[in-house]
Structure formats: C-alpha cells, structure tokens
Amino acid sequence: MDSLENKIQKLISSFKGIEPGKILNVIIKHDNGCPALRSHNLSDCTCNPEIITKGENKNGN
Ligand SMILES: [Zn+2]
C-alpha cells in the first residue's frame, strides 16, 4: 500500500504534461470499501487508488 505521501506524489506527477490553460479533471478511483470514498479525504485512503487526469480545452473544441 502506498503511503499518503506517495499518493500525493502520484497525484502531483499526474498533473505534469497538462498544458496551461486547459481545464483539468481529476478523478480518483478508490476501491470499494475504502474509507476515503465516504470522507472524501485522501488521508483516510487505505487502498491503492487509480488517479485519472484529463486536460480539456476551455471552449470544448
Ligand atoms: Zn482509497
């Protein structure tokens, strides 16, 4: 299991490669039963979440 620090590092590194001016969507997928699903607090996370980032054009084109 990743430590909280590792999870945050993973989150930060997933932001890299997103160009400035793009809208960033961040989706953190937790395992079923992870306490962070209810608390929405990453520090409660006991699973190994999948972090998905998407940069989108502001005018949707
Ligand atoms: Zn989790």
Give residue 57's pLDDT.
63
Q: CA angle, 54 as apex, 1 and 4 as ends, to 5°?
A: 20
What is the mean predicted confidence (pLDDT) over 46-61?
77
CA of 14 to the centre of ligand 1 (A): 17
Give residue 60's pLDDT.
53
pTM of this prediction exceeds 0.75: no
Give residue 54's pLDDT.
80
Contact between 45 and 59 under an 8 Å Cβ cutoff? The reply is: no
Burial grade of 34 (CB within 10 A; 0-12, 13-18, 19 or more): middle
CA of 43 to the centre of ligand 1 (A): 9
Contact between 8 and 47 under an 8 Å Cβ cutoff? The reply is: no
Q: What is the DSSP letter of 22?
A: S
What are the pLDDT digits (tens) for 18-51?
Answer: 777 887 788 899 999 999 999 989 899 999 999 8
Give residue 58's pLDDT.
63
DSSP H helical ranges for 1-61? 4-15, 35-39
CA of 35 to the centre of ligand 1 (A): 7
